[in-house]
Structure 1
């Protein structure tokens, strides 16, 4: 039986709002790496308002479908959070298909580990957990 305090990929959830906000603050304060795309893509209102955060989480879930893709150049993607208990440790997005640009930069799977959780094997574990999800989406060879 899998323990909930063991890190695993989960659906984005409003339950982790405070941990998500703390992670965003860590990413922004990190001077060793550029701020990840997903941090700059968070709706500003979602960082200040619980109801707007609910809308943000719903948007992430909707992006799995063509109708949820928000802008030209983006593709449907499944966003999952790497979490242990009530702590968000990272996020991962599996792009369902690639554009020419994503073939060159980005690939099928993009991921970020929260600065305070780095160097503990989370990235490797996240990628390993993501491969069966990618396969279920019809991705036979993830880039």
Structure 2
């Protein structure tokens, strides 16, 4: 799939794989391997931003994937996120979509909501929200209608 298709079809909380379709280099070539890992990976879709036009510049629509956290003892020191433009030359694939009944913890920032956490149920989401204070956070359930629309429109995970 193209990046534009991911922007249009994938819902927040989906796990997305991206690749440049080149073979993985051997481990002994550290620089080549590092460059390859920068263009091949997996992450959870946490934000979609619409295109912007200003007087001095314009930018295409983009989406952000959360690839992981680094920390210790429950304290996150660094969160790894990558933002891709819909004009990216990489190939994308929806690996997994959120299941019916899961709860998204979202926060409105700018023009679109950002996924803070994806919980298995409302109780887990409220517990997470109680221990992670966000001023504008709200909960949204993944509905059967949303999952059904994905299947009917041919957007099932690959």
Q: Which has the higher strand share?
A: 2
Greater Rg, structure 1 or structure 2?
2
Fold agreement, TM-score > 0.5: no
Return the TM-score normalized by structure 1.
Answer: 0.28
Q: Which has the higher helix share?
A: 1
Return the TM-score normalized by structure 2.
Answer: 0.26
